[in-house]
């Protein structure tokens, strides 16, 4: 199986790249993950024809579930057009020959890095997250044997201490990405490095959520309609980021915005991080405060991603 990367170079590979034995192993891990929401199932991650950090965990999960009738949407930081998204979408177009789309509602499978689409997902969809570090306790306890014990005993005191130290230092919980959640009142889980703005979306979501970490060899899942609670304290309840302005291009409020630099004189604007959501709104006639500015539309169009960082 270690020669799969070589086979890809030679153009010899199975449907969706992975061999059937590997798919079966990943499929069994997915079923266990679904049965034990939020628990990290170990799996034998394969070498993929792309470096770790490019979403090899998500790619393996997607490859294991994908069928020839699926329609795949691939997003990176909300955009379908980043180098990472384009490359992974191309990988599945080439190895599985499936349909792909930018439209959230058209997709049956959505693979994502760092964002969840603004549009509500449905019962018929599966969202696959690329996860770099699946263990939410890893920064507090480096030993796997210890973190596994903590999960087994439901001993999450250390995590609460960390969040409380945050409050003592900053006056509020400073964590804005990979904000830990408790799934089904049992397992503390890392929702992957999505902004905490997206945490409410994974609570009682209609779509099945699958999480894949390639380097760390873990798969976990949240079934549809599962209670997912962001950790907090009675006197410091969980809050999402708030943006005081609407999207400069489509005028959307209550969506996640990226800052975009317009020029070298300090000109900037805030636009939807979900580029497909923004484009659909603009196509439907919604107008933001800077929609008439040609420079803003040029930069904030369908390729805002690189300037946003």
Task: Report the residue number, 41 or 252, with the smaller CB distance to Zn ion.
Answer: 252
107 sits near other proteins (criterion: CB under 8 A): no
Q: By CB under 8 A, which span of 1-9, 159-167, 181-189, 282-290 interacts with other proteins?
A: 181-189
Window 190 to 249, contacts with Zn ion (CB under 5 A): 247, 249
Smallest distance from the beta carbon of 57 to Zn ion, in angstroms? 30
Q: By CB under 8 A, which span of 24-32, 237-245, 275-283, 301-309 interacts with other proteins?
A: 24-32
Show the site string, 258-277: x = touches Zn ion by CB under 5 A, - = not.
Answer: --------------x-----
Active-site amino acid positions = 38, 247, 250, 272, 278
Smallest distance from the beta carbon of 31 to other proteins, in angstroms? 5
At residue 9, the 3 state secondary structure works out as helix
Work out which of 48, 61, 65, 72 binds other proteins, going by CB under 8 A: 65
158 sits near other proteins (criterion: CB under 8 A): no
**Spacing of C-alpha 85 from chain mean position:** 12
Question: H-type helices in the chain, by residue range?
Answer: 4-9, 20-35, 56-65, 83-96, 144-153, 157-170, 199-202, 275-283, 294-300
The token duo for 288 is 């933001």
Smallest distance from the beta carbon of 180 to other proteins, in angstroms? 18
299 sits near Zn ion (criterion: CB under 5 A): no
Task: Report the residue number, 150 or 163, with the smaller CB distance to other proteins.
Answer: 150
Beta strands in the chain (DSSP E): 41-42, 71-76, 99-100, 109-113, 126-130, 181-183, 187-189, 208-213, 218-222, 228-230, 257-261, 268-272
Smallest distance from the beta carbon of 99 to Zn ion, in angstroms? 26
Work out which of 109, 205, 252, 299 binds Zn ion, going by CB under 5 A: 252
Beta bridge partners of 210: 128, 221
Q: By CB under 8 A, which span of 151-159, 232-240, 242-250, 266-274 interacts with other proteins?
A: 151-159
How far is 41 from 61, CA to CA, in rounded Å?
12
Residue 287 Ramachandran class (φ > 0 left, ψ -120 to 50 alpha, else beta): beta
Exposure string (b/e) for 58-78, b if CB count within 10 Å is 16 or more?
A: bbbbbbbbbeeebebbbbbbb
Window 197 to 236, contacts with other proteins (CB under 8 A): 208, 221-227
How far is 307 from 268, CA to CA, in rounded Å?
10
Residues contacting residue 221 through CB under 8 Å, at least 6 positions apart: 30, 33, 34, 37, 208, 209, 210, 211
Work out which of 24, 94, 119, 268 binds other proteins, going by CB under 8 A: 24
Sites of contact with Zn ion (CB under 5 A): 247, 249-250, 252, 272, 278
Sites of contact with other proteins (CB under 8 A): 14-15, 20-21, 23-25, 27-37, 39, 41-42, 64-68, 148-149, 151-153, 184, 186-187, 208, 221-227
């Amino acid at each position: 199986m270690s020669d799969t990367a070589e086979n890809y170079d030679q153009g010899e590979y199975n449907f969706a790249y992975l061999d059937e034995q590997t798919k079966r192993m990943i499929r069994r891990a997915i079923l266990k993950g679904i049965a034990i929401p939020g628990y990290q199932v170990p799996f034998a991650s394969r070498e993929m024809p792309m470096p770790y950090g490019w979403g090899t965990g998500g790619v393996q999960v997607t490859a294991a579930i994908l069928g020839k009738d699926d329609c795949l949407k691939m997003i990176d930081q909300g955009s379908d057009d980043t180098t990472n998204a384009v490359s992974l979408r191309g990988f599945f177009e080439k190895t599985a020959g499936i349909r792909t789309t930018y439209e959230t509602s058209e997709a049956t499978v959505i693979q994502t890095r760092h964002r969840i689409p603004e549009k509500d997902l449905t019962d018929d969809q599966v969202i696959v997250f690329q996860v770099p570090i699946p263990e939410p306790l890893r920064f507090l306890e480096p030993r796997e044997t210890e973190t596994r014990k903590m999960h087994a005993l439901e001993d999450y005191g250390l995590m609460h201490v960390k969040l409380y130290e945050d409050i003592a230092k900053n006056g509020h919980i400073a964590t804005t990405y990979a904000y830990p959640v408790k799934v089904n009142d049992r397992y503390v889980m890392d929702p992957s490095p999505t902004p905490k703005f997206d945490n409410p979306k994974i609570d009682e979501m209609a779509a099945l959520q699958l999480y894949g970490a390639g380097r760390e060899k873990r798969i976990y899942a949240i079934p549809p309609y599962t209670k997912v609670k962001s950790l907090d304290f009675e006197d410091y309840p969980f809050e999402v980021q708030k943006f005081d302005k609407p999207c400069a291009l489509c005028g959307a409020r209550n969506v996640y915005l990226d800052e975009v630099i317009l020029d070298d004189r300090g000109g900037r604007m805030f636009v939807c991080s979900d580029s497909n959501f923004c484009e659909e709104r603009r196509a439907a006639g919604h107008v933001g405060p800077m929609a008439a500015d040609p420079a803003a539309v040029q930069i904030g169009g369908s390729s805002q991603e690189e300037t946003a960082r």
